[in-house]
């Protein structure tokens, strides 16, 4: 090829030059095709390199989720270092238009320094053991007691099982010994010929749904203390408790949706299905009202039909959730407004920061979101109207600043749609109206962390008992989780409540169920404590 090119340049005759040029036209076409192919190959290499980088980021993120630290906290000093560094690819991040005025923290809201706990709990009963010197024991009349040294230690008495026996004596009148004897009626029980008391059944339920002990493990533990209780008996007793408590959970559901705000989330859990050869996946749907109850609903489906079934048509309030499409479908059918979650948005930017994708920009956005949560911490104890006013004066400008930054970042063209930073910004853009909703509702939270915390016990539990018994009995676990978590939310000891409720339920009517919910029980206990303090 080079020789032909030299021969063409060396020909002085123009006619001969044109003749040679026409003869070599095919050669020039081949050269042009090679150049085009080279450009296509180079573009393909760039595309493959970018795809390879994205796949490496996904693998790195997966490794971090499996083996890394689960906490989402970021050291503020790390953000400062990133913000003070040089801009990536010569692009400067937009500086904040003004400094954020720090929120004044009222004395009543400020976090108090934790007082040091006593070495041993003060409310425990005391068993005293008095030790005297041997010479004093020999002649106590020669010694006078002048003081004592006290040493406390924590001791434990293993569980002790007893047989609770009820004796009903028969009587006949003395003046008519042939008359039919009279006998006191048997007190109402959960099961007519049941072998366990309400306290024992309450212990079974708390052990599984609070302490996360599977039934077979409970059976082994009880056997060590001399009580041979089969796993089947424990399972039947737990199911019996769920049947009695199911109407109470229904009353709690009606009370929850009588308001105008609720948080919703869902979590997967396996269930047994004979004949399948495997455990299919079902879902616990969690509903939570801040400062109130937590409600769980079991279904094998994750579709919006579950929400249409659980949420009554009379509820027209705001639903705060993540970006799952079922919530949008539900809102379109029912006309409810949706609220977004800034914790989910923050999580996307944090993942991009950990993967090194535009670290300065991601750090800047994370810092702005941190300011939002600082405001939320300060106003945690405020009323709805005051919370809405503070958010209008402090949180709104932070949200607007984030929106302007996202617009500028998108116009820069540095963030590919499939990159971690591109996905994070797309999530915010698609959820922007929902993310803004908390500014206009003082009852709403900035995130769904509370309902996710309510889901946590189920996540711990399924690591121990692995799955629910079947699709048709998953409701029992949902009912018992509803009772247990609502007791914890209201500061009620679950065992005490369950023993109280399972003792009273056999003699109650449906109209009295509202007086035995965890909310009613907590209010009753508080009223009793106030009465005791007033007498004292």
Please give the tally of structural domains in the chain: 2
Is 402 a domain residue? yes
pTM listed for this prediction? 0.79
State whether residue 5 is helix, strand or coil.
helix
Q: Is 318 helix (H, G, I), strand (E, B) or coil?
A: strand
My answer on whether 402 and 360 are in the same domain is: yes
Coil vs helix vs strand at 381: coil
d(C-alpha 216, C-alpha 465), whole Å: 9
pLDDT of residue 384: 93
R_g (Cα) of the chain, nearest Å:
35
C-alpha distances in Å from residue 467, one per residue of 213, 234, 259, 359, 419:
13, 16, 33, 41, 36
Mark whether 354 and 421 lie in a shared domain.
yes
Task: Classify residue 449: in a domain, yes or no.
Answer: no
> Are residue 375 and residue 428 in the same domain, yes or no?
yes
In a domain, 167, yes or no: no
Residue 345 structure tokens: 């948005």
Instruction: Give the pLDDT score at 117.
Output: 72
CB of 265 closer than 8 Å to CB of 450: no
Burial pattern 14-50, b for ≥16 Cβ within 10 A else e, equals eeeeeeeeeebeeeeeeeeeeeeeeeeeeeeeeeeee
pLDDT of residue 217: 94
At 101 the pLDDT is: 46
Question: Are 223 and 158 in contact, with CB atoms under 8 Å apart?
Answer: no
Give a yes or no: residue 41 inside a domain.
no
What residue spans of 86-230 are helical by DSSP H? 134-138, 198-209, 215-224
In this structure, the answer to whether residues 394 and 355 fall within a common structural domain is yes
Measured distance CA(366)–CA(351) in Å, rounded = 11
Residue 429 lies in a domain: yes
Helix axes 474-489, 518-535, angle to 10 degrees: 30
Question: What is the domain extent for residue 529?
Answer: 233-310+474-535
d(CA 107, CA 302): 45
Separation between Cα atoms, residue 452 and residue 226, nearest integer Å = 40
The answer to whether residues 444 and 391 touch, using CB atoms and an 8 Å cutoff, is no
Domain boundary at 383, 417, 440, which? 440
The gap between the terminal CA atoms of the chain, to the nearest Å, is 110
Q: What is the DSSP letter of 123?
A: T
133 belongs to a structural domain = no
pLDDT at residue 5 in the model:
46
Same domain, 350 and 301: no
| Same-domain check for residues 349 and 287 | no
Residue 413 sits in the same domain as residue 481: no
Of the three residues 440, 455, 486, the one that is the final residue of a domain is: 440
405, 411, 414, 420 alpha-carbon torsion, rounded to 10°: 60
pLDDT means per 10 residues in the chain (536 residues)? 48 56 65 73 78 72 64 60 48 46 50 69 87 92 91 86 90 90 90 90 95 93 91 95 96 95 95 85 95 94 94 94 94 95 94 87 93 93 93 94 93 86 93 94 94 92 88 93 95 95 93 94 92 85
The pLDDT assigned to 494 comes to 96
CA 118 from centre of chain: 31
Of 318, 263, 269, residue with least CA distance to 288? 263
Q: Which of 387, 420, 440 is the last residue of a domain?
A: 440
Six-digit token string for 318: 């705001």
Task: Report the candidate in 345, 330, 349 with the shortest Cα–Cα distance to residue 266.
Answer: 330
DSSP one-letter code for 393:
I
Read off the tokens for 407: 């617009």
Here the tokens at position 127 are 């068993």
* Residue 424 near residue 369 (C-beta atoms within 8 A): no
pLDDT at 100: 43
Q: Supply the pLDDT for residue 323.
A: 92
Sequence-distant (6+) residues with CB within 8 A of 411 are: none
Q: Is residue 359 part of a domain?
A: yes
Q: Is residue 482 part of a domain?
A: yes
Annotate 242-305 with DSSP letters as a single string: HHHHHHHHHHHHHHHTTSSEEEEEEEEEEE--TTSSS--EEEEEEEE-TTS-EEEEEES--SHH
Which neighbouring-strand residues pair with 287?
264, 295
| pLDDT for residue 14 | 55
**CB within 8 A of 96, min separation 6: which ones?**
368, 401
Contacts of 459 (CB under 8 A, 6+ apart): 267
- Closest by Cα among 504, 506, 376, 396 to 444: 376
239 plus 302 within the same structural domain: yes
Question: CB-side exposure of 420: number of CA atoms within 13 Å?
Answer: 26
> In whole angstroms, what is the distance from residue 246 CA to residue 477 CA?
10
- Please tell me whether residues 299 and 350 are part of one structural domain: no
């Amino acid at each position: 090829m080079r020789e032909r090119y030299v021969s063409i340049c060396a020909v002085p005759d123009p006619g001969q030059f044109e003749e040679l040029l026409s003869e070599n036209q095919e050669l020039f076409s081949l050269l042009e095709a090679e150049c085009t192919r080279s450009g296509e190959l180079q573009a393909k290499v760039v595309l493959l390199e970018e795809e390879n980088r994205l796949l490496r980021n996904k693998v790195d993120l997966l490794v971090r989720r499996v083996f890394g630290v689960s906490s989402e906290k970021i050291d503020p000093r790390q953000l400062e270092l990133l913000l003070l560094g040089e801009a990536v690819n010569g692009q400067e991040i937009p500086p904040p238009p003004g400094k954020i005025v720090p929120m004044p923290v009222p004395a009543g809201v400020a976090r108090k320094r934790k007082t040091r706990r006593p070495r041993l709990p003060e409310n425990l009963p005391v068993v005293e053991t008095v030790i005297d010197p041997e010479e004093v024991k020999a002649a106590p009349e020669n010694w006078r007691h002048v003081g004592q040294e006290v040493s406390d230690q924590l001791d434990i008495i293993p569980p002790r099982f007893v047989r609770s026996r009820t004796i009903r004596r028969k009587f006949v009148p003395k003046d008519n010994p042939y008359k039919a004897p009279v006998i006191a009626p048997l007190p109402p029980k959960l099961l007519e010929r049941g072998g366990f008391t309400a306290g024992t059944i309450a212990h079974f339920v708390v052990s599984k749904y609070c302490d996360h002990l599977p039934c077979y493990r409970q059976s082994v533990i009880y056997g060590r203390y001399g009580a041979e209780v089969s796993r089947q008996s424990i399972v039947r007793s737990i199911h019996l408790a769920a049947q009695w408590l199911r109407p109470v959970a229904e009353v709690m559901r009606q009370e929850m949706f009588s308001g105008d705000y609720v948080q919703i989330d869902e979590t997967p859990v396996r269930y047994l299905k004979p004949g399948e050869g495997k455990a299919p996946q079902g879902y616990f749907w969690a509903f939570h009202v801040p400062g109130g109850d937590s409600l769980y609903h079991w279904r094998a489906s994750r579709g919006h039909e579950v929400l249409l079934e659980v949420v009554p048509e009379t509820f027209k309030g705001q639903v705060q959730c993540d970006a799952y499409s079922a919530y949008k479908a539900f809102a379109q059918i029912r006309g409810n407004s949706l609220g977004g979650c800034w914790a989910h948005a923050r999580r996307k930017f944090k993942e991009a920061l950990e993967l090194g994708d535009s670290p300065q920009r991601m750090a800047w956005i994370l810092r702005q979101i941190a300011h939002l949560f600082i405001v939320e911490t300060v106003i945690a104890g405020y009323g709805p109207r005051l919370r809405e006013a503070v958010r209008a004066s402090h949180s709104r400008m932070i949200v607007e600043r984030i929106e302007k930054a996202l617009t500028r970042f998108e116009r820069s063209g540095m963030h590919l749609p499939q990159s971690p930073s591109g996905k994070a910004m797309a999530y915010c853009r698609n959820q922007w109206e929902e993310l803004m909703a908390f500014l206009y509702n003082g009852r709403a939270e900035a995130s769904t962390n509370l309902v996710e915390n309510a889901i946590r016990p189920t996540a711990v539990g399924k690591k121990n008992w692995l799955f629910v018994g079947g699709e048709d009995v998953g409701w029992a676990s949902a009912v018992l989780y509803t009772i247990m978590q609502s007791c914890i939310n209201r500061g009620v000891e679950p065992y005490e409540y369950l023993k109280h409720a399972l003792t009273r339920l056999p003699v109650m009517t449906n109209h009295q169920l509202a007086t035995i919910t965890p909310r009613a029980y907590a209010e009753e206990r508080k009223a009793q404590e106030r009465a005791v303090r007033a007498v004292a």
